[in-house]
Amino acid sequence: MSTPTVGAAQVFRLPDLGEGLTEAGLVQWLVAVGDTITTDQPIAEVETAKSVVELPSPFAGVVVALHGTAGDTIDVGAPVLEVADAATGAASGAASAPSGAAVEQEAYREEERAGSGNVLIGYGTKERAASGRRRPAAARTSLGDSSAARTIPPESSEQPQLVRETDAGRRRPVAVRSPLVRRLARDLGLDVHALTATGADGAITRADVLRAAVDNAVDGAAAQHTATNTAHIDTGTGETVDGLAVRSRERMSPLRKAVSAKLSRSRSEIPEATVWVDVDATALWDLRAQMAPEGGKAPSVTALLARFVLLALEDHPILASRLSDDAAELISFDGVNLGVAADTDRGLMVPVVPGAHALTVDQLDVALRELAASARAGAMPPERLRGSTFTLNNYGGLGVDGSAAIINHPDVAILGIGRIIERPWVVEGEIVVRRIAQLSLVFDHRVCDGGYAASFLRRVTELIEHPLRAFGRV
């Protein structure tokens, strides 16, 4: 850890992230020592227990020190980076902003207006500039020693392809203006500094990233695999457990810690019970195909099932209620905030559709697609991950039929839906092929008994098997 420069540097400390979070994982730096940054410019991507967000700087000036490397965990209140006045930074040899700053700033703002950015909730302003250079963590020097970091020239020959010669003989930094392009390159395991830029002012474009991904598909994948394995294998300790060599020890991410705590609380506090039923979804399957508008898409099966669940909850509101903290009161609500379990690369998330009871099938379909896309992109705002009063888990998309689900605390029930697949089914005394799915309702036995839960499940089953009966209300 470096120490602040007395009278010159301002220390930015990780702000209180809210939601009871006390730490964040450092995904990657977006700036380097020597960069000139502006107020509210994103300086790093951090992973909280909710999502991956860009951390904006409250200070403007020259970056003189960074604290930590990618993969580190930063506690709330701990130093993140240090920024000196532009004049002070220039006097100590820091680099000035690149000559293409104005162009890059406008391009970045356009990207932000298109919704590609994701700032920390409750922190930063509406409009952010981006005049500093952004470099991935792999291209940066270790920052454990502040004094050493400050003496390395920002355009050192040890950082290949950070600058290129223009036609006029001037040297300009290679720019990655778009957060989407930067994220795409990182997800594909590509180093933007090794790419050939075709954009204006030497910028790396999306097409440049995709072209490099195709050209290096085999070699890049192998290199990434080797690098990952090498990073995870600790060959120096020789540790063994029960006769087996320990390959790696990885810290739990903030998200996994949050999921672990929530599921553990659910298991320890809620006396769960489960009822399940096989349902003939053939009529729903056929009806859905007929609901597609001309030239458009039919609503998703999840949207239709969600609407049926919401209709059933109108007659069984206890399953969309909550218990008070001391479990002495049952809190009922006028409506339903529907949580929908989503499997993402970062782990299980449950984004919420607020006021879902008031939405039509088409509106639910739009909301669910948007939530799923945001969750899988790691761009889900924290406020969209809380407040559910009932949870729907369509794990059939994962290729399974059933699950002993855990209730999403503080909800009191969760409905799981398995695959809708062709199976032999008896209809009017004959064995025919029908599309069958299994529904599993897990409920808090403190709020209701099995008869109430079974009644809810029968209502959902009725709507699935006879969807036209609900068509007037869908």
Query: Which residues belong to the active site?
Result: 445
Q: How many CB atoms lie within 10 A of CB 241?
A: 7
Give burial (CB, 10 Å; 0-12/13-18/19+) of 84.
Answer: buried
Distance from C-alpha of 302 to C-alpha of 340, rounded to nearest angstrom = 9
CA distance 372 to 379: 10
CA distances from 87 to 8, 32, 62, 276, 441 (A): 10, 18, 9, 69, 64
Which tokens go with 12?
């930015």
Q: Are strands 390-393 and 338-340 parallel, antiparallel or unpaired?
A: parallel
Tell me the one-letter amino acid at 292: A
In whole angstroms, what is the distance from residue 437 CA to residue 418 CA? 6
Note whether 93 and 117 are within 8 A (CB).
no
Amino acid letter for position 155? E
CB atoms within 10 A of CB 1: 11
Residues with Cβ within 8 Å of 302's Cβ and at least 6 positions away in sequence, in order, are 340, 368, 392, 394, 417
What span, in angstroms and rounded, lies between the C-alpha atoms of 297 and 313? 27
Sign of the alpha-carbon torsion through 168, 171, 177, 183:
positive
Whole-number Å distance between alpha carbons of 357 and 343: 24
In the three-class reduction of DSSP (H, G, I as helix; E, B as strand; rest coil), residue 284 is classed as helix
